[in-house]
Amino acid sequence: MLAISLGILVGLVLGLTGAGGSVLAVPLLIWGMGWSLPQAIPTALIAVALAAFVGTATAWPQGIVRYRAAITMASTSILTAPLGLYTASRLPVSRLHIIFALVLVVVSIRMILQARTAPEETRVVLAGMKTDKEDPTEPVCRMNPLTGQLKWTRPCALAISGSGLLTGFLSGLLGVGGGFIIVPMLRAMTDLSFHAAVATSLMAITITSLATVGIAAYQGQALPWHVAAPFAAGALAGMLAGRLFAGKLAGPSLQLGFAGLMLIISGSMLVQTLV
């Protein structure tokens, strides 16, 4: 019941904000289950993969998932996920907690800036709400206006592959999906709308998270299914419930509140680790 309750909480955050569930899943498992960060990573990633898959399935009929870019990112992320898992197993747990807390701070700051500078983007919940705002800069990857597909050039392929390498390492190291990296990078590298960037990142996160869990299992890391299964089921139920109210609640105020919650969590982790 505890695992289900924690999963529902993570799912509600995902359903209402469309982001942040992965970074919330890990500290909840650490505090709620008494696990270390390396123990929490596979279970958190299972819930993240399930939620990202639902978001991908929702966006797919709209034709905005750039699946080639998602597969490219996921393919390269698989190369660095084992390195992240290996690093996590070698670093002291206290140092991992500090790194994770700092990542929470970065994600929180980004969410605060987004809520203040681009409030319309805070309403794009798990790729379920459309926005047509485009990035006016000159990106490395441009879309073909006739087909809606990205024009694949060597610089474009290298840029997208590079983002996958970073995402895979963080997935293995900290158990995070990496959407807070993928979405800004896609927006910087391509002329995709924010909605399309979120949808594409969800597909990449699905594949990367599942692959990281598989690699961890192959390396001999035990996966507590008696906790992982109810946690993932609770996350799915909470996410679906959250999405029922996301249309009315999603927006800058909710995102600012969640960013504040993450800052509190990061501060608590730093205090418990350093004191």
pLDDT higher than 50, residue 243 = yes
CA gap 209, 176 in Å, rounded: 8
**Tally of CA atoms within 13 A in the half-sphere of 57 that contains its CB:** 6
> Exposure string (b/e) for 150-183, b if CB count within 10 Å is 16 or more?
beeeeebbebbbebbbbbbbbbbbbbbbbbbbbb
SS (H, E, C) the chain: CHHHHHHHHHHHHHHHHCCCHHHHHHHHHHHHHCCCHHHHHHHHHHHHHHHHHHHHHHHHHHCCCCHHHHHHHHHHHHHHHHHHHHHHHHCCHHHHHHHHHHHHHHHHHHHHHHHHHCHHHHHCCCCCCCCCCCCCCCCCECECCCCCCECCCHHHHHHHHHHHHHHHHHHHHHCCCCHHHHHHHHHHHECCCHHHHHHHHHHHHHHHHHHHHHHHHHCCCCCCHHHHHHHHHHHHHHHHHHHHHHHHHCCHHHHHHHHHHHHHHHHHHHHHHHC
Q: pLDDT over 90 for what percent of the chain?
A: 19
User: Position 26: which residue type?
Assistant: V
pLDDT of the residue at 82: 93
pLDDT of the residue at 251: 65
Comparing 14 with 133, the larger pLDDT belongs to 14
Q: Residues 147, 76, 17, CA angle at the centre, nearest 5°?
A: 70
CA gap 140, 94 in Å, rounded: 39
161-190, pLDDT tens digit by residue? 998 999 999 998 988 877 778 888 888 888
Contact criterion met (CB below 8 Å) for 250 and 122: yes
Least confident of 107-121, 123-137, 163-177, 240-254: 123-137
**Mean pLDDT, range 49-66, rounded to an integer:** 87
Identify the CA nearest to 56 among candidates 160, 206, 253, 246: 206
**pTM (2 d.p.):** 0.82
Widest pairwise Cα distance in the chain = 59
Contact criterion met (CB below 8 Å) for 44 and 235: no
CB atoms within 10 A of CB 138: 7
**Mean pLDDT, range 21-42, rounded to an integer:** 83
